[in-house]
Structure 1
Amino acid sequence: GAWKLSGRYGKMEKNLEADEKDLTSANLVCRKRVVEKVRFDENLFPAEDPKFISDAINEGFRIAYSPDIVVHHKRRPDFRSLVKQIFNYGKFRPKKERFLETLNQPFFFIPSLFAVYLGLLILTILANPSITGGVIGINTNSISFWWFLPLLAYVLLAILFSVYEGFRNDDLLSVLIIPFIFLTIHLSYGVGMLKGYWDKVVE
C-alpha cells in the first residue's frame, strides 16, 4: 500500500546508496561525525527520521542498507492507532521538506489527490438527482462514467496487489482484508498531508 516505501519494512538487497525510501531510523547506526553535523528534529515526530536521512545525504554522507541487521517492532494495537500513525506520517511531510522538494517525488501526492477525488466524487453523487431521487440533488446532468474510472482503477489495483501479497505471504484469506488496509493507509496519509499543508498556510 505504500509502494516504494513499503520496502523499508521488509528484507531487501544490500544497498550502498540508500535513502529514506529504503530505511527508517528504527535500526540506524551512525558515525559520530554524522550526528555532530546532522541533528534529529524532535519537533517533526514521526517524520524526524526521513528528514535526518535526507539531511545527511545533503551534507554529503552516504547511507547504506544491510539486510543482515534486523530489528523487530510491535504493530499498532488497534485500527485507530494505525490511522493516527499514518495520518501523522502524511501531516508531517510538508513540515519535513519544501513543496518543490516533495514535487521531485510526486508519488507522495497520490494519496492526497485520491482523497480529494473521493471527496469530489461523493459531492457529485449527492448533487445528482438521478441518484438521490431528487431529495438532495441539484444537478440535472447525469454523472459521466469518467468520474468513476479512477475509482474502478483503484479497486482493480487494490485487488491485484492484495492477491499478490496473499500469495507472497502464503495467506490467501488476507486478500479479503488487505484492500481495506490499503484504503485506510492511502486515505489516512492523504488527508494527513492535506492537513499538513493547511497548517502551513494558516501559520
Structure 2
Amino acid sequence: MFFSIIIPLYNRPQEIKELLETLTRQTYTQFEVLIIEDGSVNDAKAVVETFANCLDISYYVKPNEGQGFARNYGFARAKGDYFIVFDSDCLIPEGYLDIVKNYLYTNHLDAYGGPDGATTSFTPIQRAISYSMTSPFTTGGIRGNKKGLGQFHPRSFNMGISRQVWEKTGGFIITRLGEDIEFSIRIHKMGFKIGLIPDALVYHKRRTDFIQFFKQLHFFGRARINIYRFFPGELKMVHFFPALFTLFLIITLLLNIINSPLKLLGNIIVLVIILLIFFHSLIINRSLKIAFLSIIAAFIQLTAYGLGFMEDLWKRVIIKTS
C-alpha cells in the first residue's frame, strides 16, 4: 500500500518543519508527502527543500482558498492508493503508517480517522488545551472515541481516504467552517465505510495561547451551524450543550450580581464542574499547573463554541441572513 500524505499550509514554516521531521522516522516508508502552500506570505519553501533527500516530497504553491480546497489540490496530484491528511501542527509517531497499513489490510475502511493527544514536551497550555479537547466533561470527549455518540466523523487533523472516495466524492465542497465534517457525512451517505483506527494517534500541538484557542473554538461553533445548512438532520442535542452551558454561566453571573438566593445553586454547580475537571486532569496529567490550566481551557472551549454556535444559529437559522 502506497500512501500520499497531504498537508495544507498557511504561514506555518516552523510547524511543517517539526511535522516533516517526524515523518522521516516512520517505520513504514512507502509514502509520499505533498505540501500545499495556500497563498502564504511567510512560505515554507526553504524548509521543505531541506527534506528533499530524506523524503519523497513535493511542494506546491497556489492562491489562498482555504484548507479544504488546498487538500483537493493535493488529492488531484497524489499518486497513492490511500490519501492521508494532517494538520500542520501535528506530530506523527514513528509507527503511525504501520498501524494504519496493518489495520486497513485486516479491516477494510474507505475512510478513517484517528485520535489526537499531547506529549510531555508540549507546553502546559498546549497540554491543558489537549485535555480540554479530549475530556469527557467537554464536547471534546466525543472526538476520536469509539464510544462517541452517533456516526464517527473523521476530522482533518488526522484523516485518511481511499483514492476511490476522492474520485467519487470530488473531495471537499466547502473550504472552511466545518469542511471536514461535511465531507465525512457525505462519504457516509455515498455508502462508503468509515471507521476509527484507535491506535492511529497523532500528537496535536493546537494553538499556543488561550486567545487563539478562543478564536478557534468560536469558529468551530459557527461551523456546526454551517454543516446544518447542508445536513439539517445532523444537528443533535449534544451540539447544543456548549450553548446551554454558556447561557447557564451568564444566568449564574446575573444572579450573583443581583444577589438572588438562587445564586447558591448556580455557584455550587459551577464549583462541582471545576472540581471534576481539575481532579480528572490531575489524574491524567499528574501536574497541578496543567490541572488549573485545564479548568481555564475547558471553560474557554465551551463558552467560545457556545457563543459561535448561538451567533450563527441566530443569523443563519432563526432570522436566515446569508
Query: Normalising by structure 1, what TM-score?
Result: 0.74
Q: Is the CA contact 1:91–1:189 (under 8 Å) kept in the aligned structure 2? A: yes
**Whose strand fraction is larger, Structure 1's or Structure 2's?**
2
Selected match of 1:78 from 193, 209, 221: 209
Which blocks of at least 5 consecutive residues in structure 1 are unaligned? 132-142
After superposition, what is the alpha-carbon deviation per residue over 1:55-106, rounded to whole angstroms, capped at 9, x for unaligned? 2112221112223434333321222110000100001101112585355x31
Q: Does 1:47 align with 2:163?
A: no
Selected match of 1:6 from 141, 158, 173: 141
Q: Is the CA contact 1:87–1:193 (under 8 Å) kept in the aligned structure 2? A: yes
Residue in 2 that maps onto 1:195: 311
Find the aligned partners of 1:28 and 1:156 in 2 and give their Cα distance.
Answer: 36
Find the aligned partners of 1:179 and 1:172 in 2 and give their Cα distance.
Answer: 11
Structure 2 residue identity aligned to 1:120: I
Q: Does 1:101 align with 2:233?
A: yes
Shifted more, 80-89 versus 49-58: the winner is 49-58
2:196 aligns to what SS in structure 1? coil
Residue in 2 that maps onto 1:91: 222
Q: Is the CA contact 2:188–2:194 (under 8 Å) kept in the aligned structure 1? A: yes
Find the aligned partners of 1:122 and 1:188 in 2 and give their Cα distance.
Answer: 17
Selected match of 2:156 from 25, 29, 32: 25
Rate the CA distance shift 1:154–1:14 in 2: closer, same or farther, 3 A: closer
Structure 1 residue identity aligned to 2:309: M
Shifted more, 51-60 versus 32-41: the winner is 32-41
Rate the CA distance shift 1:176–1:36 in 2: closer, same or farther, 3 A: same
Rate the CA distance shift 1:110–1:41 in 2: closer, same or farther, 3 A: same
| Matching of residues 145-184 of structure 1 within 5 Å | 145=262, 147-184=263-300
Rate the CA distance shift 1:36–1:181 in 2: closer, same or farther, 3 A: same
Find the aligned partners of 1:87 and 1:64 in 2 and give their Cα distance.
Answer: 27
Query: Displacement of 1:179 after TM fit?
Result: 1.3
Matched positions, count: 181
Structure 2 residue identity aligned to 1:42: I
Selected match of 1:63 from 164, 174, 194: 194
After superposition, what is the alpha-carbon deviation per residue over 1:141-182, rounded to whole angstroms, capped at 9, x for unaligned? xx242x542442233123113211211222233222221211
Identity of aligned residues (%): 24
Q: CA RMSD in A?
A: 2.9
Query: Normalising by structure 2, what TM-score?
Result: 0.49
Find the aligned partners of 1:35 and 1:148 in 2 and give their Cα distance.
Answer: 55
Find the aligned partners of 1:93 and 1:112 in 2 and give their Cα distance.
Answer: 12
**Whose helix fraction is larger, Structure 1's or Structure 2's?**
1
Rate the CA distance shift 1:150–1:14 in 2: closer, same or farther, 3 A: closer
Query: Displacement of 1:46 after TM fit?
Result: 4.1
Rate the CA distance shift 1:169–1:96 in 2: closer, same or farther, 3 A: same
Q: Is the CA contact 1:163–1:172 (under 8 Å) kept in the aligned structure 2? A: no
Find the aligned partners of 1:6 and 1:25 in 2 and give their Cα distance.
Answer: 17
**Higher RCO (CA 8 Å, separation ≥ 6 residues):** 1
Query: Displacement of 1:35 after TM fit?
Result: 2.1
Find the aligned partners of 1:54 and 1:167 in 2 and give their Cα distance.
Answer: 35
Rate the CA distance shift 1:148–1:53 in 2: closer, same or farther, 3 A: farther
Residue in 2 that maps onto 1:136: none
Rate the CA distance shift 1:121–1:163 in 2: closer, same or farther, 3 A: closer
Q: Is the CA contact 2:156–2:180 (under 8 Å) kept in the aligned structure 1? A: yes
